[in-house]
């Protein structure tokens, strides 16, 4: 199945200045999120605290839940988890308790029963993450991302050329910055699930970039006398149908998760949606123009 005719001749390289402008604007917009909105909203996986799953037997208001929990938490995060015949489930995130987990659980149960009536509320699960564990997870997340990018650079440099490796890694960094900016601007919580989504995006995007780079390498052998810009254009056009079809069908699944998934899956899907959209864009409009720019200093090998 070919969505794009094989003889398509879109001049991507000739219009790369527009891609430079858009890419720069998106990166700047994402980086401006820090001075304007502050640090990303880290979940208790990274900061430490308590996550409680609570089931209410009858419909309740989120503000009512917050008010009931004021004696033990000044600013609890309350999110609806699911709704069914048994009642409504909510996920509540609180600061780490000073007392033990058992004592805290009893105090929480008493507060909820006082606010909503005995028998109308049930604590379905309680998870505590200490501050030290949260800091350790932060460091592990940063190192996992750095090592993943470094190993991908080594692979790309070995499989293709160093300039292609730099182009691919810049694409990934570009995509991660966009996802980071999206979560800061929207105020969505960043937790281990979102980190998993970001690592998934890295794998997905590098695969897309590898397909384009593989076609570039093949065409460089057959078109040794043609300008590099022309070879890049031909390669992108030849893989454009595959890129759009693959990303399009993947996005259909992601959109389904956004509409029908639970709260946890929706945040995961948002990270995938942003990552795949900009990953597809970067594999076409960022990697190849960067390879062309680097060619002035690190000429791409032909043959």
Whether 9 maps to a domain, the answer reads no
Co-location of 262 and 143 in the same domain: yes
Number of independent structural domains in the chain: 2
Percent helix / strand / coil, the chain, rounded to 5: 65, 10, 25
Q: Which of 129, 148, 179 is the last residue of a domain?
A: 129
- Evaluate whether 91 touches 263 at the Cβ level (below 8 Å): yes
Task: Output 10 or 1, whichever has higher pLDDT.
Answer: 10
Co-location of 98 and 69 in the same domain: yes
- One DSSP character per residue, 53-94 reads EEEESS---HHHHHHHTTTT-SS-EEEEEEEETTEEEEEEEE
Co-location of 34 and 145 in the same domain: yes
Co-location of 155 and 278 in the same domain: yes
Co-location of 284 and 158 in the same domain: yes
pLDDT digits (tens, 9 = 90+) for 225-248: 888 889 899 989 988 888 888 888
Co-location of 157 and 288 in the same domain: yes
pLDDT for residue 2 is more than 70: no
Q: Which domain holds residue 67?
A: 49-129
pLDDT for residue 182 is more than 90: yes
pTM, 2 dp:
0.79
CATH number at 57 reads 3.30.70.2040
Query: pLDDT above 70 covers what percent of the chain?
Result: 91
Q: Which of 98, 129, 160 is the last residue of a domain?
A: 129
Whether 5 maps to a domain, the answer reads no
CATH number at 278 reads 1.20.1640.10
If pLDDT is split at 50, 70 and 90, which confidence band does 118 have?
confident
Whether 262 maps to a domain, the answer reads yes
pLDDT digits (tens, 9 = 90+) for 272-300: 999 999 999 998 898 888 888 888 887 77
Q: What is the pLDDT of residue 39?
A: 82
Give the mean model confidence (pLDDT) for residues 68-86: 74
Co-location of 81 and 120 in the same domain: yes
Q: What is the pLDDT of residue 25?
A: 94
Q: Give 261's DSSP letter.
A: S
Cα torsion 168, 38, 196, 202 to 10°: value is -10
Q: What is the pLDDT of residue 84?
A: 64
Check the CA dihedral 254-257-258-259 and report its sign: positive
Task: Label residue 164 left, alpha or beta by phi (over 0 means left) and psi (-120 to 50 means alpha).
Answer: alpha
Whether 300 maps to a domain, the answer reads no
Co-location of 105 and 172 in the same domain: no
Whether 1 maps to a domain, the answer reads no
Q: What is the pLDDT of residue 184?
A: 92
Whether 80 maps to a domain, the answer reads yes
If pLDDT is split at 50, 70 and 90, which confidence band does 98 have?
low
Cα torsion 280, 24, 169, 271 to 10°: value is -50
- Residue 209's φ and ψ, nearest 5 degrees, are -70, -35
pLDDT digits (tens, 9 = 90+) for 15-74: 889 989 999 999 999 999 889 988 888 877 777 778 888 888 888 888 888 888 888 776
- Evaluate whether 274 touches 90 at the Cβ level (below 8 Å): no
Q: Which of 76, 109, 129 is the last residue of a domain?
A: 129
């Amino acid at each position: 199945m070919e969505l794009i005719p094989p003889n398509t001749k879109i001049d991507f390289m000739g219009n790369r200045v527009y891609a430079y402008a858009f890419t720069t604007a998106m990166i700047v917009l994402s980086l401006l999120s820090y001075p304007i909105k502050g640090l990303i909203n880290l979940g208790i996986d990274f900061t430490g605290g308590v996550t409680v799953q609570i089931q209410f037997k009858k419909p309740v208001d989120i503000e009512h839940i917050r008010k009931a929990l004021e004696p033990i938490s000044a600013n609890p995060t309350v999110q609806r988890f699911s709704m069914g015949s048994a009642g409504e489930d909510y996920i509540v995130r609180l600061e780490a308790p000073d007392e033990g987990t058992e004592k805290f659980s009893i105090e929480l149960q008493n507060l909820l029963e006082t606010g909503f009536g005995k028998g109308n509320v049930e604590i379905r699960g309680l998870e505590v993450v200490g501050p030290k564990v949260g800091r350790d997870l932060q460091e592990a997340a940063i190192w996992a991302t750095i090592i993943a990018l470094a190993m991908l650079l080594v692979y790309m440099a070995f499989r293709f050329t160093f300039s292609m490796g730099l182009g691919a890694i810049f694409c990934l960094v570009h995509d991660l910055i966009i996802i980071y900016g999206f979560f800061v601007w929207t105020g969505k919580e960043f937790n281990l699930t979102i980190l998993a989504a970001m690592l998934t995006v890295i794998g997905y995007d590098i695969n897309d970039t590898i397909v384009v780079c593989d076609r570039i390498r093949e065409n460089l052998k057959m078109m040794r006398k043609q300008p590099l810009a022309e070879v890049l254009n031909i390669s992108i056009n030849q893989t454009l149908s595959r890129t759009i079809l693959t990303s399009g069908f993947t996005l259909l699944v992601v959109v389904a998760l956004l509409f029908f998934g639970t709260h946890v899956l929706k945040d995961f899907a948002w990270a995938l949606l942003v990552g795949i959209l900009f990953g597809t864009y970067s594999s076409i409009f960022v990697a190849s123009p960067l390879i062309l720019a680097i060619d002035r200093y690190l000429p791409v090998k032909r043959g």
